[in-house]
Structure formats: structure tokens, C-alpha cells
Chains A and B, each alone.
Chain A
Amino acid sequence: MDHSSPAGRIFRGIALALVLVFFMFPIVWILLMSFQTNEQILRIPPRILFEPTLANYEALISGQLKTAAGNLQISFMRNLMNSFLLSSASVILALLLGVPAAYAFARFKFRLGETIAFTLLSFRFAPPLLVLLPLSLYYQQLGLNDTYFGIVWVYQLIALPLILWIVRGYFEDISPDIEHAYRLAGHSWREAFTRIAVPLAGPGIAAAGLLSFIFCWNNFVFALILASADKQPVTVGALAFVTASGIQYGQIAAAIVLSVTPTLLLALYAQRYLVEGLSLGAVKG
């Protein structure tokens, strides 16, 4: 790896640092903003050094947004809770449905198999707004409007294709002979699925779960249309910071920090599963 000249190495270090600053700057800046008042944020020129304040976080947690026009009730913590609830439930449901489906698509050839798999994938490239109008009409008819279940269901449009297609690839990479060997050793196909296929596709399932969690968490438009205030996630809840008396930059920054934290922690935790080798050298290539 280390085959370049010292000058080359220094140059590469500088280039890497520049790229890192470029990508990390917005995040660091938002972190700094979250500890400043609106006045501190808006002053020109901006300063790196300031007296930190926890007022933004206090306001978010207590649900009292202080603006120039007076106090506003916000339900940010509830939104955060909703985000967590909706994303987790969606991913769990999508895993329960998607992993067995992915296994079926990977292992068995059946009529219309490819068509079904592709149709499921095509949900990903339809613009959500196109789906939303008929969907909201259906939801009103079915009484699913403004229910957690309704949103979790519509989130399957995001999570299910992602899990299906990623996990399918991982299942296809496992040699079917490993499962055959397990069955010949005296296990049913169900045991071969749960004790061989699923553990071996573990890194893929973790990656797909994590990705779909992030996509669900970041979704805005489904919940905006299909849910009312008390069921809305943070992405929609953040609209509340655009108030009559101006935009509450400090609180927005603090809200971003709080809403990014869970996915960030999840990503850091899941990383070790993602980098773990898949086939582990059991089958000679």
C-alpha cells in the first residue's frame, strides 16, 4: 500500500483532509449552531468562539419554543418518538416479510418470479407523490389515515424492496450445497433456513435493515400527507420551527443533532456486521 514518495504521501494527506473538511463541515457547523442562540447564529461575521447555551435543547425537550412573538407549543420529542417507532416497526415488518421472500427469490425458480421481484423493486423508482393521491383516497376509505399501522404499511414501499434485493444477493452468494449438507445431516428445510441461510446472510441482512431504517427515518412526504400532528415523525415535525416570527435556527440545529444521533449510533454499531466477511472461506471458489 505504502509505495509512494514522502511528498506524495503528504499531498495525499492534505487532499484527504480537504475532502473530510468539505463533507464534515456542515455537520460540525450544525453541532456548533445547536449550542448558540438565534442572535449568535445570525451575527455577521459568524464566530467560532462563543458562549455555549443549552437553551435550544431545553426548549426541544420541554416542548416550549420561545420566539419573539411569544411561546409556542411544539411536540418535537413526540415526533422523535414517532420517528423511532415508525422506522423500527417498518424495518421489523419488512425484515419479517422480506428475508423469507428474498430467500425464495434466490433459491427457487418459479413462474413470474423475476416479474414479481422486479415489480417490487419498481416501487422504488415511482415518485412517491404519484402514489400518494390514490393512496390517501384508499386510506380514507379503509380508515387507515392517520394511524401508525397505515404509515408503517406505506413505509414498506421504501423498506421492502431494499431488503428484498440486497438480501437476495447475499442468499445467492451462499453455496446451496451448504444447506444441502445441513439437510442431509438430518435437518428440515426450516432449520436449514434459520440456522444456515439467515446467519450466513447476517451481514447482508444487517446492512439492508440499517439502510432501510435510514430511508424510513428520512422520509418526509408520506407522513406529511397521511398522518396528523401527533403521529408525524421529526422530518415533518421540523416544519414547526418555521414560525411566524422567523426561522428558529438554533432549535433546528439542536433538532437535527437529536434526530441524527439514533441513526448515527445504529450505523456505528452495525458497522462491524457490515465489514465481516460473508462466506468465511467454507466453499472452495
Chain B
Amino acid sequence: MARLELKSVDKSFGAASCAKGVSLAVEPGEIVAVFGPSGSGKTVLLRMIAGMFEPDAGDILVGGRSIVDAPPEQRGIGMAFQNFALFPHMTARDNIASGLRARGAADVTAKVAAMSRLLKIEHVLGHKPRELSNGQKQRTALARALIGNPEVLLLDDPLRNVDAKLRYEMRLELPTLLRRGSAAVLYVTQDYREAMAIADRIAVLINGRLVQVARPEEIYARPASVAVARLFGDPSINLSEVTPTVGQGGLIATVAGTQVRLDADELPSGARGRCWLGVRPDDVLVTRHGGEDAIPARIVAVTPLHERAVVLLRFADGGEWLAALAPEALGAGADEDVFVRFAPDAALLFDHASGERIGLPSRRQAA
């Protein structure tokens, strides 16, 4: 199988730039999720690989061979579209078989039967797309993309138009399905949970630039920038403007008038004064008892969310944070005064001007 490689690909439409120097390699059998807010250029990227748009600059290689000049039908690419894009005048069976027939493959019937059994759509093979439910349409579209064992598999937000229950099911099934043929898989999504559930690596695309490509845990724990940190996590990360100083116990940040210790002795060289301090709501603890490192706050609202409660906290200086914790761990209600703590190693620091994360020389690692 072949490796998919993008080499500093540029693309713009008029004044709007959709890809700026995008370089990315996907190994055979690997699933890379392209994740980013809407309008960040994810779909344009897929379409350049599929041959619907031509890149302005850069190269796209499959198995070391440039495919930029090849027409879509010769690129050996399977693709599932967000809007399914089934052929409306053909049955599900003919939709799935179209690629095999075009390439003159043998045993078309048997292959279609096997693929539809895998995707649990054998019973609707004789139906036209308009007679299928959204879930069945989506499975038909996936079967059509998978059946030719393409070297490169592109999925453009395939779970966008299916309901929540089905999306959950497919999130469980998809990784196995996609790894079957050991194709290089690019999976576009706007949902960070989907990206984390399905992908081996996540490529975060913001305004046409890849800002971070890393394993899901890595991105969650060490986001490259404030923008990436904001995209991963629901509720999203708490940010406070701080100017860390070196005190007695090491690095100290002042949040809403309270000095809080950070997990480092000093700022790394080159880091300037003002920073963003980021703490994920999951890492925020709410207690009734004050003490060192505890920031006084008032509970503004409590929203039950799944098995967690999301608590909106307001500090004395008007700054607001969110905490996500188990309802029984809260022990306080709205309009009550509480204290907020977080573990020193849960805090992330970002440069105020560039938004880039400041890697703190951790004491524990140093010790």
C-alpha cells in the first residue's frame, strides 16, 4: 500500500486563501483526522487530493508518485462525501458496484455482497437512494468508497448528516472498517471527540495552516497554541491573562488577585512577560475551604450536563471560569462563595502575543 504525502500545498480562491504551505504525510494503514473550525480549508484540502481542485503550488504524492496532473479517475482514491453524493438513479447495489465495474473487476456480485454484509446494508441493496434512511445512505456511500480497496481513502465529515445515536455507533465501527484495507486515511471532521475517537493522529487546520499534527492525547495535553486549546475540550479551556513572576516557591501567577504556584521554577528563556494561563474545566476543583493557592469565587450558575455538572464561577475581578465536575463533588449551589484550585501541572501557559504554548521546564521531570 502507498503513503499519501502533501508537500507545501497552497491554494487560494481569489483573495481567500484556503491552504498555506500544508505539508502532511499519512502512512498506509494510518488514520489522520483533519480537524478545524468550519471554513478552515479542510474540505478544499480533500478536494485537491481527490482532483476536484488543482493546488496553486506544492505537490501531492501517492506512493511517491505525483498525482497532481492525473484526472480523478486515475488517482486510486476512494471518497465518502458529507452529503453522501449517491447516484440517485441507481440502486444501492449499483452505487456500490460502480467503481468495480468501471475498473472491470471480477466477482463484482460477491464483493458487493461481502461489503454490504460488513456494513449491514444487505437488505436494502435493491433500493434507490431516495428510499434509504440517512444512516443507510451513509453506509452505502462508505461501502462505495471502501469497496475498491483504494490506496487513499478520503472521508469528508461522513457523520455530519446522521443522527446522534448512529454517529455514536459509527464512531465505534469506523476505525476497524477503515483499517481493513490498510489505506492511508484522511478523515475530515469538525468534532474534536470524533477526531480523538477515530484517528491515530490529528492534524489541526486553522485558516489554511496546519498548526499542530500529533496524537490525540498529545494535542489535548500539550496544545500548540491557544487556538488549538480552545478547539479541544467541551466546555472549552479557561483562560486568564497573567504575568508570571519568580517567587519563593518557584513560578507564580496572579489570578484574580490570588497568587497561584505553577509547576516550574522559572519561565523558559525567551518567554516574555504577559501570558495566557489556561486551565481545562475538568482540572478545576471547587471547595468551600480557602487556603494557599485557592482563588475566591462565587458560583453564578450550575448546569447539569451528562454525568457532570458545569459550574460557572465569577472571580472578584469579574473574570469567569468554568468547572466541570461530578455533582456530588460540588457540595455548593448557585450564589454561594467558594474557592477554586487547580493542580500546578494542570496549568498551561501561552504567549500573550503569539498565542503559542510556552513549554515549562517541569520540576518533576527535572528531578
Kindly report which residue of chain B lies nearest to residue A202, judged by CB atoms: B89
Question: A187 contacts which of B73, B128, B134, B148 (Cβ < 8 Å)?
Answer: B73
Looking at B50, B83, B88, B137, the one whose CB has the most chain A CB atoms below 10 A away is B88
Q: Which residues of B contact A200 (CB under 8 A)?
A: 88-89
CA distance A284 to B87 in the complex (A): 12
How many residues of A sit at the interface, in one of the four size bands?
20 to 34
Q: Is B161 positioned at the interface, with any CB of A under 8 Å from its CB?
A: yes
Is A181 an interface position by the 8 A CB rule? Answer: yes
B71 close to A177 (CB less than 8 A): no
Known contacts A177-B85, A178-B87, A186-B73; A284 and B134 CB within 8 A of each other: yes
Asked if A188 and B71 sit within 8 Å, CB to CB, the answer is yes
Contact (A184, B50) CB under 8 Å given A281-B88, A282-B88: yes
Against A, the Cβ 8 Å flags (1 = close, 0 = not) of B29-53 are 0000000000000000000001110
Q: Which of A186, A281, A283 contacts B103 (CB 8 A)?
A: A186
A282: contacting residue among B50, B72, B87, CB under 8 A: B87
Q: Does A196 contact B (CB under 8 A)?
A: yes
CB nearest to B128 among chain A residues: A280
The stretch that binds A, out of B74-82, B202-210, B343-351, is B74-82
Query: Which A residues are in CB contact (< 8 Å) with B21?
Result: none
B144 at the binding interface (Cβ < 8 Å):
yes
Contact A177 B81 (CB under 8 A): yes
CB of B86 within 8 Å of the partner chain? yes
Do A185 and B98 contact each other (CB < 8 Å), given the known contacts A177-B83, A196-B87, A281-B129?
yes
A182 and B98 contacting across the interface, CB-CB below 8 Å: yes
Residue B102 interfacial (CB < 8 Å): yes
In the complex where A177-B85, A180-B50 touch, is A282 in contact with B144 (Cβ < 8 A)?
no
- Does A184 contact B129, Cβ atoms closer than 8 Å? no
B130 within 8 A of A: yes
- List B contacts of A283 (CB < 8 A): 83-86, 88
A191 to B72, CA, bound (A): 13
The answer on a CB contact under 8 Å between B85 and A178 is yes
Least distance between B79 CB and chain A CB atoms (Å): 5
**In the complex, chain A residues whose CB is within 8 Å of the CB of B102:** 185-187, 191
Q: Contacts A281-B129, A281-B130, A284-B161 given: A184-B72 contact, CB under 8 Å?
A: yes
B28 is an interface residue with CB less than 8 A from chain A: no
Number of interface residues of B (CB under 8 A): 30
Q: Does B99 interact with chain A (Cβ within 8 Å)? A: yes
B85 touches A185 (CB 8 A): no
The residues in B between 59 and 79 inclusive whose CB is less than 8 angstroms from any CB of A are: 71-73, 75, 77-79
Query: CB-defined interface of B134-155 with A at 8 Å, one 1/0 digit per residue?
Result: 1001000000100010000000
A189, closest chain B residue (CB): B71
B85 touches A199 (CB 8 A): no
Nearest CB of chain B from residue A193's CB, rounded to whole Å: 13
Q: How far is the CB of B115 from chain A (nearest CB, A)?
A: 14
A69 to chain B, nearest CB (A): 61
State the CA gap A200–B134 with chains docked (Å). Answer: 21
Give every chain A residue within 8 A of B128 (Cβ-Cβ). 280
Chain B 84-116: CB-based contact to A (< 8 A → 1; otherwise 0): 111111000000001100110000000000000
Measured between beta carbons, the chain B residues less than 8 angstroms from A228 are none
In the assembled complex, the Cα of A183 lies from the Cα of B85 at a distance in Å of: 12
- Identify 15 new A-B residue pairs, CB closer than 8 A, beyond the known A181-B79, A181-B81: A175-B85, A180-B79, A183-B51, A185-B99, A185-B102, A185-B148, A196-B87, A279-B88, A280-B130, A281-B88, A282-B84, A282-B86, A283-B83, A283-B86, A284-B137
B residues with CB within 8 A of A: 50-52, 71-73, 75, 77-79, 81, 83-89, 98-99, 102-103, 128-130, 134, 137, 144, 148, 161
Residues of A bordering B, CB below 8 Å: 175-178, 180-189, 191, 196, 199-200, 277, 279-284
Q: List 11 A-B contacts (CB under 8 A).
A: A180-B50, A180-B85, A181-B79, A183-B71, A184-B73, A185-B73, A186-B103, A189-B71, A279-B88, A280-B89, A284-B137
